[in-house]
Structure 1
């Protein structure tokens, strides 16, 4: 089993991606035992040996300073892997979560952040050659204890004025990540659910484009 392209790298149509016992995912086709890209996009592999190419038109590429909404998908020895809706996973080091010293021998990282937790984070290091590094140590960042996350397509946009109107109407707070995710934080639970329904309906009708 051989992979010819680096994870997260830009690939062109018909590019040879891998050879061997892999699984075909999005944007990949197979000829005998060889796997090729169907279109221009970013090459991505996962832990199940599935090969994917994410279309470049819909992909989020991190930029240092971006505020992103992420989901914890893996816990390491001293870090977390974060899904940030990109070909690249975010890496959150323990040192970028809290300021006080932590004894890794005595501390279960799941007590700080567990798989499935939603976070608001900032991209602090990224250079296209490795997964971006994140931080949640700054003000207004961190684990989201209560809220609802929506994913938007590249074409769907919410202006600052529209966001303020929705916040006032439904008594909630809205955080828009650069990675095309929207977080609705309720002040009253039923109002937040109404805000979600309102946003989805207006997106379907094309009113936010």
Structure 2
């Protein structure tokens, strides 16, 4: 009972990762009875009790200066660990999380709790793949509510468009707030579920047709035809 694979091990769909209830499946993994299996081809990432499989297809490579969307996965004495969709989790220190003075032993969940989603900037990536985040800067914040979808990080420039033209088109047509992370995670918040779903459909259409010409016009027609 327990782990069957090692951290950073290459797996294919259907590979058994763990048995028993000591571990929980995360992105790219699923449970069937008392076993956890890989749902996609990639590298195993083990963080505490969580097992995920990081997709190698069009995978995101972190670099300093990127704004990314991530989920809080762990809280320590000195800060938070954040899943940004890479084989290695990123670290958000107390110093880079807030300007507040935080006494030793304070309840850090008052700032960021398990499972909460944030927009943060990568400020450093070391040779050993340690990734440091910061919450200090315009647009960096906790994201509340809404919907998150994922696209290939290589398609992010097409989703944003030249000078933000494509994402502005979707925002105007749906009325949704939309934030695109360089790691391929896209957060949207609309006045109702249908508008969020329309924004998501448009973004996924961009990903699928990113190689085609006249894409802005196609998305404009798609949005106009979908709005009633």
- TM more than 0.5: yes
Which residue number corresponds to residue 23 of structure 1? 4
Q: 1:43 Cα deviation (Å)?
A: 7.0
1:90/1:134 contact within 8 Å kept: yes
| Structure 1 residues 22 and 81, CA gap change in structure 2 (3 angstroms) | same
2:145/2:189 contact within 8 Å kept: yes
After superposition, give the CA deviation of every residue in 1:152-188 in whole Å (9 maximum; x if it has no partner).
12454412322111011001222211111112133x2
Structure 1: 5+ residue stretches without partners: 1-20, 31-40
Structure 1 stretch displaced more, 139-148 or 150-159: 150-159
Distance 1:45 1:170 in 2: 38
| Structure 1 residues 93 and 49, CA gap change in structure 2 (3 angstroms) | closer
Corresponding residue SS for 1:24? coil
Distance 1:43 1:93 in 2: 25
2:11/2:44 contact within 8 Å kept: no
Which residue number corresponds to residue 203 of structure 2? 199
Which residue number corresponds to residue 164 of structure 1? 168
1:91/1:132 contact within 8 Å kept: yes
Which residue number corresponds to residue 131 of structure 1? 130
Instruction: Tell me which of 165, 175, 192 is aligned to 1:189.
Output: 192
Q: 1:120 Cα deviation (Å)?
A: 0.3
| Structure 1 residues 48 and 173, CA gap change in structure 2 (3 angstroms) | closer
Q: 1:50 Cα deviation (Å)?
A: 6.3
Structure 2: 5+ residue stretches without partners: 16-41, 212-228
Which residue number corresponds to residue 9 of structure 1? none
Q: TM (normalized to structure 2)?
A: 0.65
Q: 1:76 Cα deviation (Å)?
A: 0.9
| Structure 1 residues 176 and 23, CA gap change in structure 2 (3 angstroms) | same
Which residue number corresponds to residue 104 of structure 1? 104
Corresponding residue SS for 2:198? helix
1:68/1:177 contact within 8 Å kept: yes
1:22/1:49 contact within 8 Å kept: no
Q: Larger helix proportion, structure 1 or 2? A: 2
After superposition, give the CA deviation of every residue in 1:90-121 in whole Å (9 maximum; x if it has no partner).
1001111111211133x211111011111000
Distance 1:121 1:115 in 2: 16
Q: Aligned Cα RMSD in Å?
A: 3.0
| Structure 1 residues 109 and 194, CA gap change in structure 2 (3 angstroms) | same
Corresponding residue SS for 1:166? helix
After superposition, residues 66-85 of structure 1 pair within 5 angstroms as 66-85=66-85
1:24/1:51 contact within 8 Å kept: no
Which residue number corresponds to residue 90 of structure 1? 90
